[in-house]
Structure 1
Amino acid sequence: MSPVARRSMATREAWLSWLLLLALACLAPRAFATQRALLVGVSELVNQPQSLWLQAPRNDVALMRDALLRQGFGAGDITTLADGVSGAALPESQAIHDALSRLLAQSRSGDFVLLYFSGHGTRWRDATKRYQEPDGLAENFLARDVRGAVGVDSALAGGVRDVDFDAWVQAFLARGVFVWSVFDTCAATSMTRNAGAAVPAVAEGPADDEVRWRGLRAGQLRAAPAAVPPAAPAAPPVAERVARARYVAFFASESHQITPELRLPRQGRNARPQGLLTWAVAGALERRPATWRELFDGVLALYPPVIDELAQRFPTRELPSPVAEGNLDAPLFANSAGAVSTLPAWRAQRSGDSLVLQAGLVDGLQPQQELRINATLEDGTVRSAPARVPQVDSDGARLPVPAALRELSGGALWSASPLAAPAAFALRVRGNERGLPQRLSLDYPASVLALGAGDTAAADVRWTDLGAAGQRIEVLSGALGAGTQLLADVAAARRRIETLARLKWWNQLLAMSQASASPIEGFEAVFEVWRGDRLLRSEPAQRAAAGQLLPLREGERAALQVRNASGASVDMVVVGIDGQGGLRPVYPDDPGETNRFERGTREAPAAKRFELPWLEAPGGRLLVLATAASPYTTPRLFGAAPLEAALPEVRVRGQLAPDKARQTYAAMVRWTGEGPSAR
């Protein structure tokens, strides 16, 4: 071979080696990303009477471990803390914190972590918390060594506080780790808040089919002897708070409920005590779900037969409804903030040749809208067919099962997704020949429709690109606050158009809610004006009269007081627009947090005040929407939550249904001219 040929070959080999190294470098984050899990199961409370012990947590961690191994987790990447499990460390308080610390030290950006806890929970008043719950109570997970003594920091010795869990989750998120948390534990038997009330039994039923209830009062726990002072809880790391784009959590019940453990599967030959949520999660994973939403839908589908049986056996108990929060549309077991689909997926139930959708007008579903119906079979196979929904009610709809899917078995899980946002709610924008700004980001059902030169439809907005002089947005619709605004660049124009598109949907939603829904008895939202610690004036948000509360004077500030004494949880969104047209989330204020507002009663209402420092100039608006919660369904965000542009719509589900028709509260406080008005 000639020297020239050898040099040519060497050059090609060098290029190939360089390309190979480049490819490996590009693949490295995915190739070396790891899936890890911490499984904690506490059956025995060694410092407490055995009557308070549980049976299933040791079985729960074994079931979850097997399920994770089938999902591709490495055996060496699963840490187990549980009593009664061979090779596992004991689940004591310090051991739990140490395991979390080691797991955090191992984790790198791109990793996935499951934090799983099975056992008892309890609640009590903790005045040291930065964020006070609406019902005033704090949640705690009980470790094996728990003692019934509240320390100087209001921390239960041997308990792991909710604020500590939150700090650990934040620490993982700050490192770019995707976190899935599962809590197969209830908060407490706090349905009755009177300390003198009778304490329900932990175990009920015959020995061969006993049901145990997870959740204790702090007063049931035996304190440590005086000579044994409670150990100070380990402090979790302090980390920068980041948006919860890489976060999902499943909870076995709402904060005021208890959850059962019993022999599962029912009537199964190999049935053994299991936590209901854990058993349902493991079963739902067998259907090979693609997203967290699909996984949770599978969990919810397994609950009704067990709940129906428990309701017959224990008719006076309030039974649990699971809750989920976070980025439910992200792909399962992946470190991704992106959604598999940004269109909603509504659960459906089959009844003969009909499908009943758990979505209606307030969700943006319209009569004759085109849908895609999906049926997931027991083996994970998905069958789909197009359909139209003939009639839609305020919060539900019914349509025929598509002919192509009618032969499917009763074990299929059904859902429906719209093929596009409804045009009736679209913000009509007349622009120039360049069309609309690129990369508009909107959550269903808000959307934008560009009007062409020959389109005679009335425009809501006119957008003009002035080049170096900026961007002009002319709002032509009085309902959207007619006026002209000059913006610096296309990005600012895009954000303004997105806000106006949401506002158009909010106005439609407000009108529909007020026309079709009955009020939530015992729920109220009050708009307030304060000076320092003194309340100057207030008015129910639905009746806030023009000129009486706004404009604010020097030294005054606005706030919203929400009070729930309805006896049920509500799904609530509070969101605003400031005087500059920017979106202002109020509740929830983080897209990864649940929009559930806690249950309260007339004797012990759940209440919270939200400060509104941005509501101080003409053009500002405040929207309050709430609906009585419904069990085993998706609690509604109404398409009203102002999520980050980079995030998909986040939905939460799993509340209790009232015994009557759906109730809704809707109000919008807004500035018009020199003063505000309310609708």
Structure 2
Amino acid sequence: MTGRKLACLLLSCLLGTAAVAAERHALLIGVAELPAMPRTAWLAGPTSDVAAMRAALLHQGFTADHIDSFSDAGGAAPTRAAILSRLLQLEKNLGKDDVLLLYWSGHSVLLPSYPGQAPTQAGRHTMLLTRDSKVRAQGRQLDGGISSSELGHAIDAISARQARVVAIFDTCHAAAGTRGGDGLVWRGLSNADIGWRPSASPADAVPRARPNFIGFFAAEAQQRTPESAVQTTGQAAGLFTRAVIAALDAQPRTYAVWAGSATQQYREALDSYQLPRSAWPSPVYTGTLDTPLWSGGEPISAQWPIRRDGQGWYLPFGLLDGLRDGDLFENGGARWRAVATGWGESRLSLISGSDATMPGWASRTEHPAQRLVQLLALPATPGTPLLDARIELTLPGRPPRQLPFTDTDLGLLPAGTRIRLSVENRSTSSVDLALVHLPLGGPAMRIYPALEGDSNRMPPAIGNGISRFERSFVVSGPRFGKEWLALLAAPASNGTLPRRFFVLDAPSPATRGAQTDLGDAHNRDQAQVARLSWTSTK
């Protein structure tokens, strides 16, 4: 074989490899019409939402033949069977580093279980309505629709093929929905709206890790999200969808920048309707958000959002996120020092000689302090706790004892001692929560959220339910030395990025972005910290 032929053969192989590079796919679902339900339950926005999302993805480089649309105005009808069938096909066809954007616009109703509640036989989750959803007259049972657990299983199956799933849901996870006179239509239906009498559902299977999952959700479990007419076209559209697309058009580098910009756009849209802040939905973002957009690769190095208000420069992160007075941050020619670090925010001082006039994203000088050292250095948190946290302590051969989960040393605990942890959110607002086990002589173990990339937001009780998290442990002996069970909690502020609890040691959810990606939401200077310790014996 001549050298020229060999070179041609090698070039052909390289081109062949490029031809099977990672692909981008999208499954867009918009359910506006529900023929078997009252017309008052129909929506107008999902049809235009799907069309707008499709146009935005084409602008991002998605090819038309890799975008599947299920809506009332075009493409396949958004029925349960059609959607599940397409998800199954994607599971078979997607491969390593491929990206699937899963978008859903429409109504949802609440089944008897929801995220944040302990998995029990009477738990709750969300049912997303499809075009063929209906309520049977006999037994008042709901047919059609796709439950959040079914979608979760499909996402898990696709993630198992090492593909990245980017889920964007402009639906409500609320138990009730109304039409108001403020120009908004609220997505989300109550059971009574459709004449449905729900029954208890079995608990979901143990969740799997989703290392390649990104989630953008328009509202928390107890909230609704609105649609309204677009002034320029008169067409109805979801406010969250409109915000997500506007943020995407700004060409964000990472999912964190996209999320931050979408939240700001969402806040501005809600503010234009002069709604009280208590009625604003709070978007929730999950996953490794600092990953480059449409990439199947690893997250990039952590960056921190520098903001500015009437009092000067600040960061919407604080002690709970591992920041301390004296920390240095740098962005190009600008440098800041943390001078007043609170629980949820840090005030910054612009270092003399720095060049900074607008907010941006900055890198932080790394600190060698270990998590346990930082945890024990945190001050106590007096006052009323955000969460009702308790433990049940059962020593071998002894009756159980109920104790509050506070800064306490339990002393010596023999092997076989059982510790049952219970955390309840009895307030009317969500709380960001981190629970972790930190032994002196072994690896740390995250408890809540159990899986990296999951949301650390604990919603309030919904209806007559209880927002509770429970976990049991058995003391195994002296091999770990002294051990700590730590709880860190903070109010979930509307319009802010997810907390970066340092005890979880998770990839931080932010990276460098444009100046318009930064909002003005503030975190309250409030927290709950509890450190329970013991020493195991034989």
Q: 1:602 to 1:89 in 2, by over 3 A?
A: closer
Q: Which residue of 2 aligns with 1:411?
A: none
How far the C-alpha of 1:519 sits from its partner, in A, is 4.2
- Find the counterpart in structure 1 of residue 517 from structure 2: none
The aligned residue for residue 20 of structure 1 is 11
The answer to whether the aligner puts 1:261 opposite 2:227 as a matched pair is: yes
Residue 44, structure 1, aligned to residue 38, structure 2: no
Provide the residue aligned with 1:551 in structure 2. Answer: 413
Give the match for residue 376 of structure 1: none
Report the residue type matching 2:71 in the other structure. A
Which residue of 2 is the match for residue 67 of structure 1?
Answer: 56
Instruction: Give the 3 Å change call, closer, same or farther, for CA 82–61 of structure 1 in structure 2.
Output: same
The equivalent residue for 2:486 is 623
Aligned match for 2:473, one of 612, 619, 631: 612
Deviations 1:270-293 (A, max 9, x none): 353211111011000111111000
Write the distance in 2 (CA, Å) between the matches of 1:66 and 1:357: 35
Quote how far apart the aligned CAs of 1:158 are. 1.4
Report if the CA contact (8 A) 1:122-1:216 is conserved.
yes
Cα offset, 1:184, TM superposition: 0.2
| Amino acid in the other structure paired with 2:316 | Q
Partner of 2:376: 507
Letter paired with 1:664? A
The separation in 2 between residues aligned to 1:53 and 1:391, in whole angstroms, is: 53
- SS state at 1:102 partner: helix
Q: Tell whether the 8 Å contact from 2:410 to 2:532 is kept in structure 1 after alignment.
A: no
Q: Does the CA contact (< 8 Å) of 1:188 and 1:258 recur in 2?
A: yes
The correspondence for 2:363, drawn from 399, 403, 418, is: 418
Deviation, 1:248, is 0.1
SS in 1 for 2:158: helix
1:456-467 residue pairs with structure 2 within 5 A? none
1:480 aligns with: none
- Tell me, in whole angstroms, the C-alpha distance in 2 between the residues paired with 1:571 and 1:372: 28
Whole-Å separation in 1 of the counterparts to 2:388 and 2:147? 30
What RMSD, in angstroms, separates the aligned Cα atoms of the two structures? 3.7
Q: Using the alignment, how far apart are the partners of 2:34 and 2:462 within structure 1?
A: 32
Displacement of 1:43: 0.7
* Aligned residue in 2 for 1:346: 305
User: Are the structure 2 counterparts of residues 666 and 366 from structure 1 closer, same or farther at C-alpha, using a change threshold of 3 Å?
Assistant: closer
SS in 2 for 1:546: strand
Aligned to 1:185: 171
Is structure 2 residue 464 aligned with structure 1 residue 595?
A: no
2:145 to 151, 156, 159: 159
CA distance 1:536–1:628, shift in 2 (3 Å): same
Structure ID, larger Rg = 1
Instruction: Give the drift of 1:223.
Output: 5.6
The match for 1:583 among 444, 447, 457 is 444
1:522, distance to aligned residue in structure 2 (A): 5.2
Q: Secondary structure at the match of 2:410?
A: coil
CA drift of 1:368 comes to: 4.2
Cα separation, 2, equivalents of 1:660 and 1:134: 36
CA distance in 1, matches of 2:89, 2:426: 43
Q: Shift in Å at residue 650 of structure 1? A: 5.1
Q: Of residues 217, 226, 246 in structure 2, which corresponds to 1:283?
A: 246
Letter in 2 for 1:539: L
Partner residue, 1:479: none
Which of 35, 41, 44 matches 1:55? 44
Structure-1 residue corresponding to 2:180: 204
| Corresponding letter in the other structure for 1:609 | E
Q: CA deviation at 1:358?
A: 0.9
The residue number in structure 1 matching 2:514 is none
Amino acid at match of 2:436: V
Contact 1:189 1:256 in 2 (8 A): yes
2:156 is aligned with 1:170 = yes
| Residue of 326, 331, 334 corresponding to 1:386 | 334
- 1:389·1:397 contact (CA, 8 Å) conserved in 2? no
Contact between 1:331 and 1:340, CA under 8 Å: does it hold in 2?
yes
- Aligned counterparts of 1:351 and 1:580: Cα–Cα separation in 2: 44
Flag the 1:503–1:15 CA change in 2: closer, same or farther, 3 A.
Answer: farther
Q: Distance in 1 between matches of 2:133 and 2:319?
A: 49
- Partner of residue 284, structure 2: 323
Of 268-277 and 169-178, the range deviating more from structure 2: 268-277
In the alignment, residue 670 of structure 1 is paired with which amino acid? S
> Aligned partners of 1:581 and 1:18: how far apart in 2?
53
Q: CA deviation at 1:597?
A: 1.1
Q: Which runs of 5+ in 1 are unaligned?
A: 1-9, 191-199, 225-229, 374-383, 409-413, 428-500
2:79 maps to which of 92, 95, 105: 92
TM-score (norm 1): 0.69
User: What SS does structure 2 have at the residue aligned with 1:551?
Assistant: strand
Gaps of 5+ in 2: 512-519
* Change beyond 3 A, Cα 1:98–1:623: same
| Preserved CA contact (<8 Å) 1:637 1:651 | no
User: Given the superposition, is the C-alpha separation of residues 390 and 624 from structure 1 closer, same or farther in structure 2, using an over 3 Å criterion?
Assistant: closer
Q: Secondary structure at the match of 1:269?
A: coil
The one-letter code of the counterpart of 2:239 is L
Residues 585 and 143 of structure 1: CA distance in aligned 2, closer, same or farther (over 3 Å): same
Divergent runs of 4+, >6 A: 400-403, 657-660
- The answer for the alignment partner of 1:145 in structure 2 is 132
Separation (CA, whole Å) in 1 of partners of 2:436 and 2:138: 38
Tell me the secondary structure at the aligned position of residue 669 of structure 1.
strand
Q: Larger relative contact order (C-alpha < 8 A, sep ≥ 6)? A: 2
How many residues get paired? 519
Indicate how the Cα distance of structure 1 residues 563 and 157 shifts in structure 2: closer, same or farther if over 3 A, else same.
same
Match in the other structure for 1:247: 213
Amino acid at match of 1:182: I
**Is the aligned partner of 1:355 residue 2:224?**
no
Alpha-carbon deviations, 1:531-559, whole Å to 9, x = none? 89x97112112154534xx61464x4222
**Mapped contact 1:121–1:216 kept (Cα < 8 A):** yes
Query: Could you say which residue in structure 2 is the equivalent of 1:434?
Result: none
Report if the CA contact (8 A) 2:224-2:281 is conserved.
yes
The equivalent residue for 1:437 is: none
Aligned partner of 1:216 in structure 2 is 189
Asked if structure 1 preserves the Cα contact closer than 8 Å seen for 2:386 and 2:527, the reply is: no
SS of 1:640's partner is helix
Contact 1:48–1:222 (CA under 8 A) maintained in structure 2? no
Equivalent position SS for 1:122: strand
Q: What SS does structure 2 have at the residue aligned with 1:91?
A: coil
Q: CA deviation at 1:327?
A: 0.8
Does the 8 A contact of 1:565 with 1:601 survive in 2? no
Q: Could you say which residue in structure 2 is the equivalent of 1:193? A: none
2:420 paired with 1:571: no
CA distance, structure 2, for counterparts of residue 635 and residue 217 of structure 1: 29
Choose 573-582 or 279-288, whichever is displaced more.
573-582
In the alignment, residue 404 of structure 2 is paired with which amino acid? P
